[in-house]
Structure 1
């Protein structure tokens, strides 16, 4: 089976890629924007199956198919609300609600193989009709609160009050403006699927920062950037070299 992932959130794309490899599916490539996808599909044969996010960094993924004809079967990976999911059902479109569950992914792939691969039928989608059925602007169900256990107590923190998340000594912590750090039961990779990407950015393997908490940014060695956040001294916040370009784009969104 030839498969393709189109997903603008790179941690989500990598996670989906690993999950598919467990099912013995190795996607040809992971694409992250409308423009990148159009360029690829214009110069390569259409795959059997596309795992498609709806909202990409430079527009709706529907715009891809306005520019290049593709007759691949499509499984949507989406964070839409229940109303939008009903719209997908009306058009007989398979979908996976983020964060993607392994069993649901396997079931969707099994449905594809049963309906399309074995019968050699293709799935034709009226994207204009889907967009019309959605009706409302795109909404994502990002997490707005996290909990941390302190002794016998459970503390609740709103994401607006969290300056950053960071990992240290195999643990993941959240940091508050008052300088306090709290251990949480999450990994940075899973956090990136839960947090609003307009507010939070993963600058390195060790840290995810809140744009509203940035005090200063300073040029650093090897074309990197050092970010300074009030009262945080646990580690140096350095934007990885390979993430600097994306970081600059994120700052101006």
Structure 2
């Protein structure tokens, strides 16, 4: 049985999508229908990861991309929207398809079939791909950035990469917490910093966090095959490694130690 979460701010659209999904595949289970970024972040942070999410791009309190900025989503996503201007951004995330409203039954069936096909892929192939991707990124970053000038009030504070304990997104900006527990706002995205920092010392834990090797104090087994990383200084938000990235994280930690 496929466990599906629907995030849709229009109640009739949510009901229609629910009925259409269950008509195509009666074995699916609709876990919930949520209407806002806030509710989605809360639900995803307190429930097991669904198998698949149908995600409306424009929600009542913002866009769905704000969900990705606040929490890691470790499952495939099918985006739904009345507009197509977000398509490229959506496909950079966990997207396996992008459905335009009004959603037609044949288009929805195609998306579900695509999910089922991807879900049946050999897990070993996925792990090998992620490992190769990690190693290729390491080879492509032979000259990692070591020094940063960080704006603070009316000054520029010089920092070194080894000063960073972890980096995260807060209120749509990137904040680094240093090993001495000081915090600074950085004027770059996590994606830019991921490509600049030394991959031997920093790991992209999820869409919200980059962590340094030195800050890791404990690694706990978490439900659904994920890992919970404890750090010093500690983070007010959980730092989770998705089930898919666990093999890559272990390889990074053991090989680079």
Flag the structure with more relative contact order, 1 or 2, with Cα contacts below 8 A and sequence separation at least 6.
2
TM-score band (shorter)?
0.3 to 0.5
State TM-score, norm by structure 1: 0.46
State TM-score, norm by structure 2: 0.45
